[in-house]
Structure 1
Amino acid sequence: MILKEFGLDLPYQTEKDKIEEIMYEKNLSHEEATRYDYEANWKQKRRVFSLETRCITSMFERLFSKFNTVDCRKIIVECVDKVDDERILNFSGVYTVQVKFSFDKFIVCNDRDKKNRALNLLMEGIEKINIEKKWENTTFEDVYNKIIRLDYKNEWMWGKTLKSPKKDKIAVVLCQHEVKEMSIFIVLKDMQGIELERKKIITELPDEFAYAKHLGKIKWVSDNEVRLYNKKGTQSWSYLR
């Protein structure tokens, strides 16, 4: 298998006293009370954590080199209040490992500190796996160090550069993946590659499932107007100069 995906998760952990209190107050079975607790008190926290750490895990994936393994295609680091399972579990090629973490401390951090914390949580989990599986750690450390050198800025040019009809300038699509949002720009450059101007055309949730659908193709519709079309071709965003 080829390892190429990484994620951080905030798995639901039940609290016996809380579940019993919900059972008593709402006259619910244990299963119903557990489901109620997850929906009311955990589901949104888990979603926020996933969104706010995705900029770093996706950056790690983008910079990560090909890595062959016996049986792992993805690593999920479970961030928990209390590590109650030291094992590295394998579910159909997905390794999961637990690390100690406080969501309450994480959520009040500024965006830069959240990026730093996310990267270190990911590496903590990876290092646990490296020790047990005896993997070569250099590949992971190189990505870790590169993210720091890039100042945690997960941005890249999507697609190919496109010359204008008069061939006097080019257009590119720039993606900036931050903690709380994904920003997509159309950037104009001269023929030497010097940036002339840019325009933010899309702001989306910081997750591929939200923004990838917008990245279909870029096209000059005149010498002064360039458009980005979504994958279905049903929507477009214009940069008119």
Structure 2
Amino acid sequence: MDIPYSSMGTIEDYEATWKPKRIQFRDHVRCVASLFKRYFEKFKTSDSWKVLIECVDEITEPGVRVYSGVCTVQVQFHVDTFFSMNDLEKKETTLDLMRKGIYTIISEEGWNEAPFEKAFEQVMAVKLVNEWFWKKPLLSSDRKYKASLYIVHEVTVVKAYLIILNKNNREVLRLEAFKERPNEWNYARYLGKLVWLSQNEVVLFNKNNETVRKATVSYEE
């Protein structure tokens, strides 16, 4: 989702007035958009690999446009109202805008609506909460502990927690691994690999093999 710059202003005007707003909007819709994407099953079309919903004050290009595999549609929305909403309202509005845009495309392109509706239903089933475990739990060499990374994707921030369970599946340690802008392309750099350095010490490495967070469990736990 995006809010295209429609003014005939200067580059300086865009940088000063529109770019910060655009970045914030794109970040704040990712909570719901990425949740939908995670539930959405593979879907093939003849000419598109991506859907882009443009939120505009007035629709200037009705209908669906496909360019370089990007299927674009405009949805009328006064974006300034978005920034005065609370987080739940932003989530609900994001989902509503996605529905309007996607179903316009489905209608015009003749796509099967079933996989889209299924994803929408799953998003609603979890009440718009975007929290998930990254990869499967990693066992320590003595099989006493399991380590995992838990991602909490809110509207305004993403936090990740390094969680360790004992062999009875009781949580014995939880540490904040990182905190970042609410955009998966921004925090993906932290998601390299989890490694047990010893029987009670685990570390999260980023994609450059640098330490993000280390956790040590006392054997008493």
- TM category (shorter chain) comes to over 0.9
Residue 120 (structure 2) aligns with: 144
Which of these residues, 118, 133, 137, is aligned with residue 94 of structure 2?
118
Displacement, 1:172?
0.8
Residue 235 (structure 1) aligns with: 211
Give me the whole-angstrom Cα distance separating, in 2, the residues matched to 1:187 and 1:140: 33
Q: Write the deviation string for residues 205-232 of structure 1: whole angstroms up to 9, x where unpaired.
A: 1112321111111112233321101111
Residue 3 (structure 2) aligns with: 10
Gap runs ≥5 in structure 1? 1-7, 20-32
Give me the whole-angstrom Cα distance separating, in 1, the residues matched to 2:11 and 2:196: 51
Percent identity for Structure 1 against Structure 2: 37
- More displaced, 119-128 or 205-214? 205-214
Residue 157 (structure 1) aligns with: 133
Q: Write the deviation string for residues 47-98 of structure 1: whole angstroms up to 9, x where unpaired.
A: 1000011111111111100111111100000001111111211111101100
Instruction: Name the SS of the counterpart of 1:239 in structure 2.
Output: strand
Give me the whole-angstrom Cα distance separating, in 2, the residues matched to 1:231 and 1:111: 31
Give me the whole-angstrom Cα distance separating, in 2, the residues matched to 1:11 and 1:65: 28
Residue 70 (structure 2) aligns with: 94
Give me the whole-angstrom Cα distance separating, in 2, the residues matched to 1:135 and 1:191: 47
5 Å matches for 1:60-99?
60-99=36-75
| TM-align CA RMSD | 1.5
Displacement, 1:195?
3.5
Residue 59 (structure 1) aligns with: 35
Residue 162 (structure 2) aligns with: 186
Give me the whole-angstrom Cα distance separating, in 1, the residues matched to 2:177 and 2:116: 34
Give me the whole-angstrom Cα distance separating, in 2, the residues matched to 1:191 and 1:123: 43
Displacement, 1:192?
4.7
Give me the whole-angstrom Cα distance separating, in 1, the residues matched to 2:201 and 2:45: 47
The code of the aligned residue for 1:13 comes to: S
Give me the whole-angstrom Cα distance separating, in 2, the residues matched to 1:101 and 1:191: 51
Instruction: Name the SS of the counterpart of 2:202 in structure 1.
Output: strand
The code of the aligned residue for 1:130 comes to: I
Which of these residues, 39, 45, 50, is aligned with residue 15 of structure 2?
39
Gap runs ≥5 in structure 2? none
Residue 148 (structure 2) aligns with: 172
Displacement, 1:194?
4.3
Q: TM-score, structure 1 length as denominator?
A: 0.85
Instruction: Name the SS of the counterpart of 1:231 in structure 2.
Output: coil
The code of the aligned residue for 2:148 comes to: V
5 Å matches for 1:199-238?
199-238=175-214
Instruction: Name the SS of the counterpart of 1:67 in structure 2.
Output: coil
Instruction: Name the SS of the counterpart of 2:47 in structure 1.
Output: coil
Q: Write the deviation string for residues 101-127 of structure 1: whole angstroms up to 9, x where unpaired.
A: 122211111111111111110111000
Q: Write the deviation string for residues 186-215 of structure 1: whole angstroms up to 9, x where unpaired.
A: 111233544344221100111123211111
Give me the whole-angstrom Cα distance separating, in 1, the residues matched to 2:128 and 2:171: 22
Give me the whole-angstrom Cα distance separating, in 2, the residues matched to 1:167 and 1:234: 25
